[in-house]
Every structure is written in structure tokens, then in C-alpha cells.
Structure 1
Amino acid sequence: MGGTPRSSIGHILPGAGFVAVGLWHLFNHVKLFSLRPDSYVAPVWFPVPRARYLELALILAGSAMEFMMEMFVDHSTFLPFAADGSIPSDRLHNHEHAIICLALVVYAGAAVHLDRVRARGRGALCLLLVATVFAQELLVFHFHSTDHAGVEGQYHWLLQVVVAACLATALLGIGFPRSFAVSLVRSACITFQGLWLAVIGAMVWMPSLVPKGCSLVREDGRDTVRCHSKESLHRAKALANLQFGWYLSFITVFVIALYLYVCNRYPAVEAAYSPLQKAAGDDDVDDEGMDAHKGGVAHGFASLEIEV
């Protein structure tokens, strides 16, 4: 059994995307907090010089491409619907994956538009859209049409834990926009989600990594892992739990190391250069401290516009 390359790549590539976004947010949240801890307000996304919407554009393009793969390419017929307009049973999982991509497209597109029209409260609205993406993920992974039993089910159950943490921190960010801890944990969880997606793609669909006593079998038009005995199944699930713990420890150590490095690399700017704070009660809190950073006014911000 050679496995399904598309199933493996379909988890590894989106996982790499989540890791990239998570690391980008981790670095910039720590940098922003290190430079101005007293005036820190968490942006939802980070622009780059001469390409303000690069992050959102990459999310939009990657999600749209994955949507097309799920709906039109990832099947022998290249059609998402049957002749009578119904969804074939063996294509339900494609449609479920596609709605996650659609949620990401809506978030990225709306974030660009809200920023261009300078909508009031756009930070909170963008976080609500981010929360919608994670809620969509949690809904799909929990009520998946595919029988996520056995080893595959254990990996996806652990994935739901990470997605739930992402959802919780996205919602907390709306109420606590100045909380560095919330932003740090959300960024770390996004990174962890991407890492775990890649682990699923490798451990479940690469024959050489399937746990001992288990093998890939073809069921309902797709490959899945089935263990040959209860003992093998118990061992495989235990290994998944151990992997989760190992990667969680790795992410924790990595975040601490990154935090110490960035804080040392970008020490706090002196108070004399701190931007003026808006009066208490201003509606558009996501503008606080952002316009003052435009053009690299603060030390260390020459390479990054913090204005969302």
C-alpha cells in the first residue's frame, strides 16, 4: 500500500502555512511588546514595507488554491457534485475541508477591505472573523463525515484541543486587546496547529511512519490506518499522545527562547519617544499606538509598519 500522497500533502502544506503565520505573529507580537510594553495593543495581522497586505494576500491565495483542489481537483471526476446536483458520499470530506478554506478567504478578504476603508473597530471585527475560522475548523473536525476512528481519530481529537485553544484566545483578544499573554498564546497555538497538521499528514498517510502492528488500508475510497489488534491500537494511540506532549514541550521551549532573543535584540524604546496615547474611551482601540509607528518612527520598526 503506497498511501495517498494528496492526503499527506493536503495536511502538510496547510500545516506549513499555519506554522509560517504563527511564527510571523510570534516574532512581531514579541517585538512590538518588547519595544513598547506600556503602550502595547495587539494587531490582528502585520503589514510589511512596500507590501502592506502580503500576509493577507498569501492567506487568500493559499486558501483559494486549496479550495479549488478540494472542490475540483482532488477527485477523478473533477466535479464537486453528482449529475442530480447532490454531493456524493465519497466527496463529503472534500466539501467539509473546502468550507474551512472558504472561511479563511472571507477573513483575509474582509480584513483587507476593512483596513482600506479604515472601518472603526476593525480590529475587533477581524478577530471575530479569525474566531469564525477556528469555530469552522472545530465544527468540521468534530463532526467530520469521515470515520475518524482508531489512530486517525486520536490525532484529530488532539488537533481539536489545539483549535479550541486558538478559538478561545481569538475571542479573549477582543475583550483584552492590550494583553500580550493572549496574543502570545494565540500565536503559539496557531504555530502548534500547523505543526500538528503536518504530523498528521506524515504519521497517518506515510506507510513508513505507520505505528507497529498497524497498516494503511483502503476504505470508502480513501486510505486510513487500521490496527491488527486491540493492543496495537492502544499502543498507537499512546504514541500519538506522547508525540503531542513532545511537540507541546518543544513549542513551549521555542517560544520562551524566541521571547528572550527578541527582547534582547529589541530593547524597550525610551519613554521620550513613546507615542501619545488616545484618551480613555476612544472607540477605535485598534488604532492606538499604530499610526505613530508608521514609517519606522520607533527604533527597530524601520523594517516593519505596525499599522492595522
Structure 2
Amino acid sequence: MGTLVGHVAPGAGFMLIGLWHLFSHIKLHALNPTSYTAPTWFPTSKFKYLELLLIMAASIASISMELFIGPNRHQPFDPDGTIPSNHLHNFEHSSISLTFLLYAAFALLLDRIPTPSKRPLTQLLGSIAFAQQLLLFHLHSADHNGPEGQYHLMLQLLIFLSFSTTLMGIPMPKSFLLSFVRSLTIFFQGLWLIVMGFMLWTPGLIPKGCFINDEDGHQVVRCNDHQSLHRAVSLVNILFSWFVVGVTVFGIAFYLGLVKLYGEKVRYFALGNEEEEDTDKENDDVESQKIVGKPMSFIPVGKNFSPLDIER
């Protein structure tokens, strides 16, 4: 994962899943605002388990890349069967992918075998996957003291939000806000991973006073002095704050657009028809009372009287 492609590829996966969930939760809530219950995953119209199978395929590809394709000699162990120090991060990244693989596999199995606790158990599996991701990024074996460490610190904040909202969704399945925040943070995770890949492994984007250094077969960003390091870390903080603003604007605009597309037309037509019917009834009552001069309940149905008839 310590390469540009190693960050962009999983980042694109998280972005797609987050965007899919964001779209699906907003659409479901707009169509059913009173009876909304958040599912853990969303079936597609043509193939029900497409989302889960894509997660499984991406996780298997990530594990294969980390353990059997990326390392030298195409296997992660030393000749004596031990794990070398420069491959520790490969096992950490593959363990994260393994947890997401188990989540998707068990989610599919729980859907195929109907159980009364299907939804909360699937939600629990999702929270365990995020907890594993947070734990291994927090206790990462790689040296993250420089700008790379600051990028990972911001990533851990996003993972914590995904984990906490997923866990809180077990007792509160009808909370749209939890589903909205969770989907947006998953999307943000993917976006931030892509940003990390370009900012840490593109020489032209390295901050002034810092450089890419090859250490034990891995390229890491180092800075010449403390002032350059402090500037690089501050730039990461500023960049993250800008992305917070941008993702927030995107999330609210995306919500407003989908609500206008799926929600307002249905609700406002219903309210408009009811109001028109009520207005017509009130107008009929007023006109009838003007003609007869008495309440409608006292007028025989099917007979019309004019003031001249009444005098006669």
C-alpha cells in the first residue's frame, strides 16, 4: 500500500462504496421519510449481491497484492519462514482487507439464511471491520513521524467516524443522519487515500524542504530540518480542512438534488391536491349558503330554490 497505486486503488473503492451508499440512503429516505430503516448494504436491480461481491473481489485483490504480488520473490516470508521487518506493513494492510472480506462474505450468508438478527449482526460485522482498520492504522509499523504520519492521523479521524456511526446504527436503524454521516465519511476516506497517494509519491507535490527517500525498499517523505517538517505538517492540516469544507458542500448539495428529484414531487403533489379539494369544498359551501341563505344540511339534495320561489 506504500505506493501511489497502493493508495489510489483502495481509495477509489472506498469512494465508490461511499457514493453508492450516500445515493441509496438519500433516495430511500426521500421516498419513505416516515418508514425509513437503514440497511447495511444495498442490492442492485439486476444482480442483488453485486455490492458485496465487489467488496469481496477488491479485498481478495488487495490481499494478493500485499502478500504475493508486491513483495520481492512474490511471497512475504523470509527463507526461514519468518516475517521480515520490511513486510510487516504488508501483513497489516492485508489484515484490514481480510476483515472487509469476512464482512461481505458473512453479510451475503446472513441474507441467504433468514435470521431474526440479520440486520444488527451485519451492522456489527461492518463496525468490526472499521475497528480493525482503525486499530492497525493507529498501531502501524511504518514510520509515520513526518508528513505521512499527519496524513494517516487525519485518515484515522475519518475511520473513527465511520466506525462510531456504524456501531451507533445498530440500536438506531431509523436514524437517517447516522447513515448520511457514515456514507459521507466512507466517501471521504477514499478521497483522502487518493490525495495521500498523489501528495506523498509525486515529486512535484512534495513540500519545500522535503524529499522522497528510499528506506528498506519503501519510499518515504523526509524533511531537511524541523522548520520544513513543521511547514509540511501544517500544509497537511490546511489541506484536510479544505477537503472538509468541500466534502460538506458536496454532501449537502447531493442531498438537496436527490430530495428534489425523488422526494418533493411526490409529497407536494399530494399536499396540493388535498388543499385544492378543501378549497373547492369551502367554495361550494359558501356559494350554497349565498343562494339559500341557510346551511347545506338543511337543503334537500337535487332541488334548487331561488329567492322568488321562496317568497311564493
TM range (shorter): 0.7 to 0.9
Give the equivalent residue in structure 2 for 1:232. 228
- C-alpha distance in structure 2 between counterparts of 1:81 and 1:132, whole Å: 27
Letter in 2 for 1:19: M
Give the equivalent residue in structure 2 for 1:293. none
Say yes or no: does 1:56 pair with 2:52: yes
Give the equivalent residue in structure 2 for 1:194. 190
Say yes or no: does 1:185 pair with 2:181: yes
- C-alpha distance in structure 1 between counterparts of 2:20 and 2:163, whole Å: 19
Q: Shift in Å at residue 220 of structure 1?
A: 2.2
Aligned length, in residue pairs: 268
Give the equivalent residue in structure 1 for 2:204. 208
Question: For 1:263, which of 259, 264, 275 is the aligned residue?
Answer: 259
List alignment gaps of at least 5 residues for structure 1. 274-308
- C-alpha distance in structure 1 between counterparts of 2:178 and 2:263, whole Å: 21
Backbone CA RMSD of aligned residues? 1.6
1:238-296 deviation digits (Å, cap 9, x = unpaired): 110011111111110011001110000002656xx9xxxxxxxxxxxxxxxxxxxxxxx
List alignment gaps of at least 5 residues for structure 2. 271-312
- C-alpha distance in structure 2 between counterparts of 1:16 and 1:85, whole Å: 34
Say yes or no: does 1:108 pair with 2:108: no
Give the equivalent residue in structure 2 for 1:280. none
Q: Shift in Å at residue 83 of structure 1?
A: 2.2
1:171-216 deviation digits (Å, cap 9, x = unpaired): 0100100000000000000000111111111111111111111000
Say yes or no: does 1:169 pair with 2:165: yes
SS at match of 2:74: coil
Question: For 2:121, which of 101, 121, 125 is the aligned residue?
Answer: 125
After superposing on structure 2, the runs of 4+ consecutive aligned residues of structure 1 that deviate more than 3 Å are: none
Letter in 2 for 1:203: M
Letter in 1 for 2:207: P
Relative contact order higher in (CA < 8 Å, ≥ 6 apart): 1
Q: Shift in Å at residue 84 of structure 1?
A: 2.2
1:75-106 deviation digits (Å, cap 9, x = unpaired): 12111222222111110000000000100110
TM-score (norm 2): 0.83
- C-alpha distance in structure 2 between counterparts of 1:238 and 1:267, whole Å: 42
Letter in 2 for 1:216: I
Question: For 2:64, which of 68, 76, 100 is the aligned residue?
Answer: 68
Letter in 2 for 1:92: L
1:6-40 deviation digits (Å, cap 9, x = unpaired): 71111111001000000000011000001111000
Please identify, of 261-270 and 195-204, the stretch whose mean Cα deviation from structure 2 is larger: 261-270
- C-alpha distance in structure 2 between counterparts of 1:59 and 1:119, whole Å: 23
Say yes or no: does 1:158 pair with 2:157: no
SS at match of 1:77: helix
SS at match of 1:38: coil
Letter in 2 for 1:183: S
